[in-house]
Amino acid sequence: MEQISKASLSAPGMQGVSQPVHAVLSPADLPKYIDHTLLKADAKSADIEKLCNEAKQYHFFSVCVNGANVAQCAKLLEGSGVKVCSVVGFPLGAMAAKAKAFETSTAIEDGAREIDMVMNIGAMKSGNLKLVEEDMAAIRKACGSTALLKVIIETCLLTTEEIIKACEIAKNTGLDFVKTSTGFSTAGATPEHVALMRKTVGPVMGVKAAGGVRAFADAINMINSGATRLGTSGGISIIKGQTIKGY
């Protein structure tokens, strides 16, 4: 089974392909890089409870859910060390910035400690970089020092130049992570896009690969390309070295 250096994960800017091997990374080492994800519209309360129980059992870094499920997750995960991540402006990113900011504040009040916001993709495609920046800044302000902030730029809808610009704006606006995908658009993460994002933001930000990360090999490819977090509903299969279909 494919393995990589643990040294490649010691800082966001390091890539396993260029690092010396000190120890190998096995599927069982991956849980702390996984945001255990359930964002389906028809997710039931019992499904959310199952997600949280799995996150505690396998020691995933966080659960990633829609805002309406944050309070339930926070209660179920209290004292476990597993964080609650809420998506904001999901999945289109086309909401007004003040609406996203309110959604963010509500999620934090309910117990979220990480926010995955969707960028205003239409503004980026229109070249309205001022609006893109203002949108990110509004959510950054709403997070304050309470919640870590990731921005989903939806790489499958962007040109190379737009990916670079989105990452530059996120970095200059003080965000903590850039994230590839919602998993609800035309495609998910690719190693090439992850590598481009890592090159653009350097070692000071996290890079989250999401959408299509379904197997251990997928996870390793993303990490080797510069990812420091993985968003997937298939975390259990990944750490068991299996392959699944889905987000």
**Residue in 15, 11, 63 with CA at minimum distance from that of residue 39:** 63
The dihedral sign for the CA sequence 113, 231, 11, 79: positive
Tokens linked to 45: 């309360």
CB neighbour list of residue 92: distance below 8 Å, 6 or more residues apart: 118, 121
Give catalytic residue positions. 116, 179, 208
* DSSP labels, 49-90: HHHHHHHHHHT-SEEEE-GGGHHHHHHHHTTSS-EEEEEEST
* DSSP labels, 94-113: -S-HHHHHHHHHHHHHHT--
